[in-house]
């Protein structure tokens, strides 16, 4: 009896250690993320024109972005891009809201008062703006041939369009941290989610034949 109890006891500390390691690591990552995000926000604030950051924020706001995108629907030559694009935007809205409600990470404490579209926007992870703009950038990149046919142009113009969209996506995502809306990890997670949504939308949401 004594030998069996002594042989099982050494396993208990390892079990406890294993249970506490992950929260400690996660807490360290969150703490580092918060510090880096605050430093970026503080260092860049005096130098960057705030109206540009606000314009970037507005350019990817779903309440403005989706209706403007919907207005492109009559352009028949762009249907192979527009249909997955619009459905991808709706998918993004649903996924981001579900993740935010599940994770419930608070916004940065230095975040200025902001208007929220839905209650889930009170939470920070992931960045919906970042997922949205990287969804757009990835879809535009993957739909280069569609734009070439629609514009009747050579590759240089389409490549310029793709480059501009990627720059816009990167700048808009960076503005989320610089404005104090999000943490760095929120932005990276949103960007990754947007790219994955773009791939999914292009391959599985092609229903333009019904329109």
Phi/psi region, residue 111 (left: phi>0; alpha: psi -120 to 50; beta: rest), is: beta
Do 190 and 127 meet the contact criterion of CB atoms below 8 Å apart?
yes
Q: Which residues of the chain have pLDDT under 50?
A: 1-19, 209-211
Instruction: List, for residues 6-54, the tens digit of each pLDDT value.
Output: 444 444 444 444 445 567 777 788 899 999 999 999 988 878 888 898 8
The per-residue pLDDT for 14 is 41
Q: Which pLDDT score is estimated for 99? A: 96
Tokens of 193: 């989610």
| Domain membership of residue 49 as a residue range | 2-210
Residue 123 phi/psi, 5-degree rounding, is -100, 165
Average pLDDT over the chain reads 83
Q: Tell me what pLDDT residue 25 has.
A: 76
Candidate list 122, 141, 182, 203, residue with the active-site label? 182
Q: How many helices (H) and strands (E) does the chain have?
A: 9, 0
Provide the number of structural domains found in the chain. 1
Question: What is the reported pTM?
Answer: 0.82
Confirm whether 41 is a catalytic residue. Answer: no
Q: Is 62 helix (H, G, I), strand (E, B) or coil?
A: helix
Q: Among 50, 109, 122, 129, which one carries the catalytic annotation? A: 129
User: Given this model, what pLDDT does residue 182 score?
Assistant: 94
Among 162, 161, 163, 186, which Cα is nearest to 175's? Answer: 186
Contacts of 55 by beta carbon, 8 Å cutoff, 6+ apart? none
CA distance 207 to 83: 7
Q: In this predicted structure, what is the pLDDT of residue 62? A: 85
182: annotated active-site residue? yes
């Amino acid at each position: 009896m004594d030998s069996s109890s002594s042989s099982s006891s050494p396993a208990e500390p390892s079990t406890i250690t294993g249970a506490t390691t992950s929260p400690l690591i996660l807490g360290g990552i969150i703490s580092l993320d918060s510090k880096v995000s605050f430093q970026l926000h503080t260092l860049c604030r005096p130098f960057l024109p705030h109206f540009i950051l606000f314009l970037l924020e507005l350019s990817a706001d779903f309440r403005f972005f989706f209706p403007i995108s919907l207005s492109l629907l009559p352009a028949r030559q762009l249907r192979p891009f527009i249909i997955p694009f619009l459905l991808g935007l709706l998918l993004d809205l649903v996924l981001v809201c579900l993740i935010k409600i599940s994770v419930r990470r608070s916004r940065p404490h230095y975040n200025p008062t902001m208007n929220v579209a839905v209650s889930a926007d009170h939470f920070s992870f992931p960045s919906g703006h970042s997922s949205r703009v990287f969804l757009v950038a990835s879809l535009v990149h993957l739909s280069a041939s569609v734009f070439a046919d629609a514009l009747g142009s050579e590759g240089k113009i389409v490549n310029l369009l793709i480059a501009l969209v990627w720059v816009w996506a990167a700048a808009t995502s960076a503005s989320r941290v610089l404005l104090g809306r999000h943490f760095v990890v929120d932005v990276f997670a949103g960007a990754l989610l947007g790219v994955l949504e773009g791939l999914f939308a292009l391959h599985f949401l092609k229903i333009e034949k019904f329109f």
